[in-house]
Amino acid sequence: MASSLTAQISCGTQPSAPSFSGLRRTCPKLDAAVSFSHRVNSSIRLVSSSHRSPRGVVAMAGSGKFFVGGNWKCNGTKDSIAKLVSDLNSASLEADVDVVVSPPFVYIDQVKSSLSDRIEISGQNSWVGKGGAFTGEISVEQLKDIGCKWVILGHSERRHVIGEQDEFIGKKAAYALSEGLGVIACIGEKLEEREAGKTFDVCFQQLKAFADAVPSWDKVVVAYEPVWAIGTGKVASPQQAQEVHVAVRDWLKKNVSEEVASKTRIIYGGSVNGGNCAELAKEEDIDGFLVGGASLKGPEFATIVNSVTSKKVAA
């Protein structure tokens, strides 16, 4: 079964439903009960959400503003980034979206000095404490000094390539928040973990490491990025993403507070592009996106930012 699922994902097609959801192994009768309960709860939440926000935006379980981040990773040159900044400056962006871009460290100053104030700047990583004799690291204080408002922490490439552990990532988040930076806190499962029905377990464990460490959730955005979808062109279906986002919000409600669950933006990342963002954005618990490759194309990134219109209704 695992090899069959892998083959279908490799071909870019949606796999047929296996005997388990890919989240947790369950029984059919319980699945039916949970499905009915979820439909009822979703209907109740959708109605009640209209009373929380006067912004004319529906299909958002959380009360926070739509959030779109662009992670440029280890890409770009001075010339290509100048072109990208020019494209972003000339783009027409919806007003009711928080927009953040995360250039490579060496280009942050160039971007900050030339990019419109409409878009905030994020670091791609930061050290776990105050700077000092830590070769190759970037401190929170340095990110703030150069004009960053955010930092991405816990990205799968830091977890699975560099080897950062949950507890270490949680401590990094706590320090960044204590110094006034916002944190884009990344979580997500690998393919073999989804196939084993461990999606929730993995995501909750990663969430717990943040919850155990952070002093406040006021400036935390949670980014769900299934590792098997990052940079592969294999995007999770809107339904697959939504079911994890629902579970994350419910975990926050049960383990942190109802207020944090409502206020915290839960965004999706994993091969988001101009062609699939509108359908993803329609899902109630998808509060925005963390974008990789498509964020290197100004017009396409603008399309993703403007997918907030998929949540709007006529006045």
Candidates 193, 225, 243, 283; catalytic one: 225
- The per-type count for the chain, helices as H runs and strands as E runs, is 13, 8
Residue with tokens 């926050």: 252
Question: Measured between alpha carbons, how far is residue 295 from residues 196, 251, 272, 292 in Å?
Answer: 32, 30, 9, 6
Which one-letter amino acid corresponds to residue 103? Answer: P
CB atoms within 10 A of CB 85: 22
Candidates 120, 155, 243, 245; catalytic one: 155
DSSP lists the bridge partners of residue 100 as 69, 120
Instruction: Identify which of 3, 9, 70 has the alpha carbon closest to the alpha carbon of residue 240.
Output: 9
What is the 8-class DSSP label of residue 307? G
> Which tokens in the block code for residue 254?
């049960």
Instruction: Identify which of 279, 282, 196, 303 has the alpha carbon closest to the alpha carbon of residue 291.
Output: 303
Distance CA 297, CA 199 (A): 31
Q: Is 155 a catalytic residue?
A: yes
Report the half-sphere exposure of 80 (CA within 13 A, side-chain side): 10
Phi then psi for 267, rounded to 5 degrees? -110, 160
Q: Is 225 a catalytic residue?
A: yes
Instruction: Identify which of 8, 13, 30 has the alpha carbon closest to the alpha carbon of residue 21.
Output: 30
H or E segment to which residue 252 belongs = helix 238-255
Q: DSSP string covering 58-79, please?
A: -S-SS-SPEEEEEE-TT---HH
Distance CA 227, CA 244 (A): 13
Q: Which residues are catalytic?
A: 155, 225
